[in-house]
A and B are shown apart, each in its own frame.
Chain A
């Protein structure tokens, strides 16, 4: 039974994954352990967890596979500097120390880490091109026996997008789009310009888009980037700063869009909303053209997607509805973290020559519940040691207790089973709420998550009921598809967003009979919940339906703004105690905020996490 450890790190969102005999055993992002959002450093803690979960020491590993080829990456970096020197000194000084201290020494850093774990690793350390690792993460866990593969991100070594075909135990890439032409970098540039953080704020930009009008699309196409018929993009490099500076955009961007970038945390204006809408339209057009080209070139019926751009669930939904493929599957950890899994899977089926195992339920990703779990005994020990008042729930009352609190309008922290792998909380480390209440979105954004009021929440819906609420006829277990809320559930909005750009007023308008999960454009980012992958979460929603007639709950990640999703019971309790959550379900134990000792009002803990 060959076992492979996959590793991704040194750029952003480091992760480790273990695959044994073609089956994913464990995977986790380093940020969940280090508590630094998007932590790029070597994933020592994630690696230790994966080994522990697989009950292995490193001498039992047959191979380790790294998710990129550092030499090819340096080739791109060096040629980029050659193309602009003598400009580019600042990014040179910023980038080179990282290459000297880490990226050039990847092999020896891995060897040292394995040695430090206490046993001797005797297998090969392998390296896989970055986009091939994405391709493996997209195809191998998918439910398809053969499919086209499309990967789109900021940049790998040279590639910024690639496509090919997956068939059985083989994934092949046949074409790539190359740096500096990059759809991901373009989207990140607009993210930066709108005052959000690159590599984490892209999601906010997508959420902001429905409030705007895409009036900048022509301007973007004329002065910033062109879309070719085959979906490739061509950036006008005069508008960007990432080649010769440390900023994403140049001064030319300011002139094109009528002023400097929005300062982070300042008021969001009509311009940012319209820019968000415009780049969303641009991205969807480019992705659709890419998909049509890939379909023509490969002739495949199905499509697998990965790369950071594949986290744009609005574009994914459109691709599913209007694209040329019969079905699509998107790697839930579509960003760089998922490449650790892709590297491990690629090594298993490529280097070790294993046959791909049959699908396990919906697909081979196991609901993406691949992280640490904690037993009831461990949780009880923790609660007792901290003298935290709790009530033990019998197995048969767990789902109904959570559902009853939700039906009463309470907000519940839900900590159960294995932690999710990827950026979305899927009912393992979630905060749940009642989708029927008009004030849920505002309350959860401002008093619990401490994040921007305009950001929408996702519905978790019983898989068998999805078509009753949304214009979607298939599973979306990883919250990666956006679809319209069914027309009969909608309520007319009383007005458009006012000239004062008051997003909060817009957010407070009731848009459907499920206002907390219906976005401004009447869409929702759907998670279908399946009995096979998360029976308790399924039971909670079923029980909520029995009480209210609605088989949907609000599901958002268990964290506050800037904080990685909680991993341990202690982190879950801390987050619960600090915020306005009403209850915490902690692996069979029920905590009520009213039972906790009164705490002095202290918000200094918010400074622990850098705002994202």
Chain B
């Protein structure tokens, strides 16, 4: 039962990443696991709530239909200076 529960929990990405960040061998593997954990926390802790609120407020990629008017010209020097 405990083994089954552990397998199920490990299947859940967040728990799995936290688990791996602790038990993965030191070095690249553990660093990758910790990076995944941070990315997961950002995804579920920040991106998901903001995304849900945005969608409730009507934000959607569906608005991007048809030709959108823009003005981009090589004559506009400011266009080249956008900081990366």
Q: Chain A interface (Cβ within 8 Å of chain B)?
A: 65-66, 69-72, 78-86, 88-89, 92-93, 96-97, 104, 106-107, 124, 126-129, 131-132, 136, 158, 162-164, 169-181, 228, 230, 232, 234, 237, 243, 293, 346-347, 349-351
Given A83-B61, A132-B72, A228-B66, decide whether A350 and B80 contact each other with a Cβ distance below 8 A.
yes
Assembled-state Cα–Cα distance A84/B48 (Å): 8
A91 to B65, CA, bound (A): 24
**Contact between chains at B67 and A177 (CB < 8 Å):** yes
Asked whether B51 lies within 8 Å of A85 as measured between CB atoms, the reply is: yes
The residue in chain A whose Cβ has the minimal distance to the Cβ of B14 is A89
For residue B76, CB closer than 8 A to chain A, the reply is: yes
Known: A81-B47, A107-B84, A350-B76. A172 touches B71 (CB 8 A): yes
B residues near A70, Cβ cutoff 8 Å: 84
Interface centre among B68, B75, B80 (most CB of A within 10 A): B80
Q: How many contacts A-B (CB < 8 Å)? A: 139
Among B48, B59, B65, B80, which residue has its beta carbon within 8 angstroms of that of A65? B80
For the complex, give the distance between the alpha carbons of A546 and B51 in Å.
Answer: 69
Q: Which residues of B contact A232 (CB under 8 A)?
A: 65-67
Question: What total of chain B residues lie within 8 Å of the partner, measured CB to CB?
Answer: 38
Cβ-defined contact, B74 with A132, below 8 A? yes
In the complex, which residues of chain A have a beta carbon less than 8 angstroms from the beta carbon of B61? Answer: 79-80, 83, 179-180, 237, 243
On chain A, the residues within 8 Å of B84 by CB distance are 66, 69-71, 104, 106-107, 127
Shortest CB-to-CB span from B47 to chain A, Å, is 5
The answer to whether B47 and A128 have CB atoms under 8 Å apart is: no
**Contact for A89 among B43, B66, B83, CB less than 8 A:** B43
If A180-B64, A230-B67, A234-B65 touch, does A85 touch B73 (CB 8 Å cutoff)?
no
Known: A170-B73, A175-B67. A128 touches B80 (CB 8 A): yes
Question: Which of A177, A228, A234 is the one whose CB lies under 8 Å from B68?
Answer: A177
- Residue pair A92, B39 in contact (C-beta under 8 Å): yes
- Contact code string B44-84 (vs A, CB < 8 Å = 1, else 0): 10011011101100011110111111111111110111111
Q: How far is the CA of A334 from the CA of B50 in the complex (A)?
A: 38
**Complex CA distance for A162 and B66, rounded to whole angstroms:** 11
Q: Which residues of B contact A126 (CB under 8 A)?
A: 80-81
Which of A83, A176, A234 meets B60, CB within 8 Å?
A83
Kindly list chain A residues whose C-beta atoms are within 8 Å of the C-beta of B76: 350
In Å, the complex CA distance between A80 and B35 comes to 21
Give me 13 A-to-B residue pairs in the complex whose CB atoms sit less than 8 angstroms apart, sorted by A's number: A65-B80, A78-B47, A88-B43, A89-B43, A92-B47, A124-B81, A127-B80, A127-B82, A132-B72, A173-B72, A176-B68, A230-B67, A350-B76
- CB-CB under 8 A from B73, the residues of chain A are 170-173, 350
